[in-house]
Amino acid sequence: MSGHARAVWVAVAESGEVGRHLLACNAGDRPLVLFRRENGDPAALDDECWHRMLPLSNGRLEGDQLICAYHGLAFDPEGRCVRARLGPPPRNACVQAYPAVEAHGMVWVRIEMTEMPENGGSIGLGSVRSALPPQ
């Protein structure tokens, strides 16, 4: 598959690994940060802050907000910057959020891919892909 983006569901972590802490993982070559919202649902964001591109997984959770360790920007599970230490959050400050669901003991994230890995060889858990949503 080449050239056209296709949405796929990627198994990125076992359910028990994702909690009320920040977990760095990968969906293919895309670094993500996972956590559970206060209601228990999984959330997934790109693992780089809008401001300096530092890993958000080095930050901390406050309620449902992920706080960047560098300048303290706070992002909600939808990737919007909702708070800054020094004044209102910048209007264009956001990070990419991904739909995340839990099924079959795994956390799955829906991402757009333009290139699929070649068939053959062994695959790791982070390489399991399906175009269908987990049931």
Tens digit of each residue's pLDDT (9 = 90 or more) over 40-68: 999 999 999 988 889 999 999 999 999 99
For residue 71, what are the domain limits? 6-130
User: Does any domain span residue 124?
Assistant: yes
* DSSP H/E element including 36: strand 30-36
Closest CA to 103 of 14, 39, 6, 36: 14
Q: Confirm whether 78 is domain-assigned.
A: yes
- 66 domain residue, yes or no: yes
135 in a structural domain = no
User: How many Cβ atoms sit within 10 Å of the Cβ of residue 5?
Assistant: 11
* CATH code of residue 28: 2.102.10.10
Total domains in the fold of the chain: 1
In-domain check, residue 60: yes
Across the range 17-34, mean pLDDT stands at 95
Parallel, antiparallel, or unpaired: how do β-strands 42-46 and 97-98 relate? antiparallel
For residue 64, tell me if it sits in a domain: yes
pTM: 0.82
Residue 37 is assigned to a structural domain of this protein: yes
* Amino acid 47: pLDDT: 98
* Local structure of 115: helix, strand or coil: coil
The string of pLDDT tens digits covering residues 110-122 is: 998 766 655 533 3
Query: Is there a domain that residue 1 lies in?
Result: no
User: Positive or negative, the Cα torsion across 89, 90, 91, 97?
Assistant: negative
- What's the half-sphere exposure (Cβ side, CA atoms, 13 Å) at 109? 29
Residue 44 contacts residue 25 (beta carbons within 8 Å): no
33 forms beta bridges with 24, 45
